[in-house]
């Protein structure tokens, strides 16, 4: 299927690894021009280098960074059609999961909302004018299954992502008549660095459960998350949904939420 993305300009945050990297790779394959925003690049992102890709190093904890990355897209490629707010999860230097409501401090809460909600607000605020100048666009915000199915862990993250899901709905109502579609993709547990890196979620859960990282990734995590597929989601599986929503093929889809979680959420 031709997704009709050739020549369109996209900004993707958290673009150096995981879901963001898969989104960048897929958009490029569809002929889009991409600003890949992340704190630093990676060997995998560098391997995609070419005229259609610009890496912009950004620290989204800096209030000015979202506006700067959008400005670079307009400067380099002449406008903006797509914004994928993928960056999220633990703020820089933070390891999750954290257990219990009493674990995060006020500063922890501020950092979590800064990274997972306020940075998105700023990116969208910067993206709307250039999108309107081109007659519309597509915004895809990446939430979390925890926003739909809270648990006694990561309560600050859960609240921030729930806010992001609500934000997407409100924006879709305001801007759909002006040609900007806003949708949400809600992943479950995805095999990304959050889980797999040293000191990441798999190691933390393994220490709590008296297990090991490989067992957590292959068995315990899917069981904990009640995943019908029995395995973690792969980043490309989430990226495929994101890119479809960014495409004009989804021209009548706005204000929607698409769950990619291996069947974790059971509610009707």
In terms of domains, do 167 and 227 share one? Answer: no
pLDDT, residue 50, reads: 98
Give yes or no: residues 143 and 211 share one domain: no
Residue 223 falls inside a structural domain: yes
Which pLDDT belongs to residue 184?
98
Our answer to whether residue 175 is catalytic in this structure is: no
Q: Are residues 210 and 104 in the same domain?
A: no
pTM, two decimals, is: 0.96
Asked if pLDDT for residue 158 goes beyond 90, the answer is yes
Residue 81 DSSP one-character state: -
Q: Strand runs (DSSP E) across the chain, as ranges?
A: 9-13, 33-38, 53-57, 82-85, 137-142, 180-187, 257-260
Asked if residue 31 belongs to a domain, the reply is yes
Domain residues for 15? 9-188+234-256
Q: Annotated catalytic residue: which of 115, 157, 195, 258?
A: 157
pLDDT tens-digit profile of 181-211? 999 999 999 999 989 989 998 999 999 999 9
Let me know if residue 114 belongs to a domain. Answer: yes
CATH code for the domain in which residue 36 is found: 3.40.50.720
96 band by pLDDT with thresholds 50, 70 and 90: confident
- Whether residue 128 is found in the same domain as residue 210: no
* Shared domain check, 164 and 145: yes
151 and 228 share one domain: no
pLDDT of residue 268: 84
- pLDDT the model gives residue 246: 98
Q: What is the pLDDT of residue 194?
A: 86
User: Are 35 and 127 within one domain?
Assistant: yes
Overall domain count for the chain = 2
Specify whether the CB–CB gap between 261 and 229 falls below 8 A.
no
Q: What is the pLDDT of residues 204-235, one digit of tens each?
A: 999 999 999 999 999 999 999 999 999 999 99
Report if residue 108 sits inside a domain.
Answer: yes
Residues 208 and 151 in one domain: no
Measure the CA–CA gap between 173 and 44, rounded to whole angstroms: 37
Distance CA 250, CA 267 (A): 25
């Amino acid at each position: 299927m031709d997704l009709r993305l050739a020549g369109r300009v996209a900004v993707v945050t958290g673009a150096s690894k995981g879901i963001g990297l898969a989104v960048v790779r897929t958009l490029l394959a569809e002929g889009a021009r991409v600003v890949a925003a992340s704190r630093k690049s990676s060997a995998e992102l560098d391997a995609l280098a070419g005229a259609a890709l610009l890496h912009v190093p950004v620290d989204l904890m800096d209030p000015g960074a979202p506006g700067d990355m959008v400005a670079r897209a307009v400067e380099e490629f002449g406008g903006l059609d797509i914004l994928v707010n993928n960056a999220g999860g633990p703020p820089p230097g933070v390891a999750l999961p954290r257990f219990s409501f009493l674990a995060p401090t006020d500063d922890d809460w501020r950092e979590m909302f800064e990274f997972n909600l306020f940075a998105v607000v700023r990116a969208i605020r910067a993206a709307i004018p250039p999108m309107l100048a081109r007659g519309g666009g597509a915004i895809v915000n990446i939430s979390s299954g925890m926003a739909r199915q809270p648990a006694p862990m990561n309560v600050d993250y859960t609240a921030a992502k729930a806010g992001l899901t609500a934000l997407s709905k409100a924006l879709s109502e305001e801007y759909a008549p002006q040609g900007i579609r806003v949708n949400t993709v809600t992943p479950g547990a995805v095999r990304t660095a959050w889980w797999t890196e040293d000191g990441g979620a798999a190691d933390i859960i393994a220490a709590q459960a008296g297990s090991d990282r490989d067992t957590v990734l292959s068995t315990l995590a899917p069981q904990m998350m009640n995943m019908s597929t029995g395995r973690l989601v792969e980043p490309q599986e989430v990226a495929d949904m994101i890119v479809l929503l960014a495409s004009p093929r989804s021209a009548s889809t706005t204000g929607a939420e698409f769950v990619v979680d291996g069947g974790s959420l059971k509610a009707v």
